[in-house]
Amino acid sequence: MSTVNNVTRLLKARGIPFTVYETPAEKLGAIEVARFLNVEPKRVFKTIVVTRERKKSLLVVVPGDSEVDLKALASFLGEKKVHLPSEREAERLTGLQAGGISPLALIHKGFEVIIDLSAQDLGEIHISGGQRGVNVKLPAQALADLVKARFASVSRPRPAE
């Protein structure tokens, strides 16, 4: 794969094994990416921006077939409440387009990162490569170590549509 960006350069420089996948450049959700890559949706993790009352927003990485459990996340963080911003607000807070928000692309921006505990059971997970159309598969523990993330049970199944 010929896709090279700051994320792939960072992973290569740190010696982290990874595979890059090109996906369509339009905004795709994690379920659509999973279909495109022919992998289980629980293996394609999405990065969700979450805001809190008095502290900097954080990034929560959850399986594509799940959603952030805001109560569980608030409890884990010791916060009263946390909130999901609008897509536009998430883009403003991160400087990245929705569909390309990734903890790897924001590594030096001071975001706290929480990865859903289920990632540990999977070994390798897929996440955004920091821009639309780029997906990266890498070991979940390597991702956590690199972005100084904590693991916590912070997702729940998405309601049936």
> Residue 72 maps to which CATH number?
3.90.960.10
Domain count, the chain: 1
**Has residue 2 got a pLDDT over 70?**
no
Q: Are strands 124-128 and 134-139 parallel, antiparallel or unpaired?
A: antiparallel
Q: Pick from 79, 62, 23: which is nearest to 153 by CA?
A: 62
Question: Which has more pLDDT, 139 or 55?
Answer: 139
Q: What is the pLDDT of residue 161?
A: 60
Res. 46 pLDDT band, cuts 50 70 90:
very high
Q: What is the pLDDT of residue 39?
A: 95
Res. 101 pLDDT band, cuts 50 70 90:
very high
Taking the C-alpha atoms of residue 106 and residue 111, their distance in angstroms, rounded to an integer, is 7
Q: Are strands 150-152 and 112-116 parallel, antiparallel or unpaired?
A: parallel
Q: Is residue 1 part of a domain?
A: no
**Has residue 1 got a pLDDT over 50?**
no
Lowest mean pLDDT among 24-33, 95-104, 124-133: 24-33
What is the Cα gyration radius of the chain? 15
Res. 158 pLDDT band, cuts 50 70 90:
confident
**Has residue 159 got a pLDDT over 90?**
no
Q: How far is CA 85 from the centre of its chain?
A: 15
Here the tokens at position 139 are 């070991």
* Rounded mean pLDDT, 136-161: 93
Taking the C-alpha atoms of residue 70 and residue 35, their distance in angstroms, rounded to an integer, is 27
Q: Is residue 53 part of a domain?
A: yes
* The residue to which tokens 């390798």 are assigned: 124
Contact 104, 83 (CB under 8 A): no
Contact 103, 112 (CB under 8 A): no
* Structural domain containing residue 84: 6-157
pTM: 0.94
Q: Is residue 81 part of a domain?
A: yes
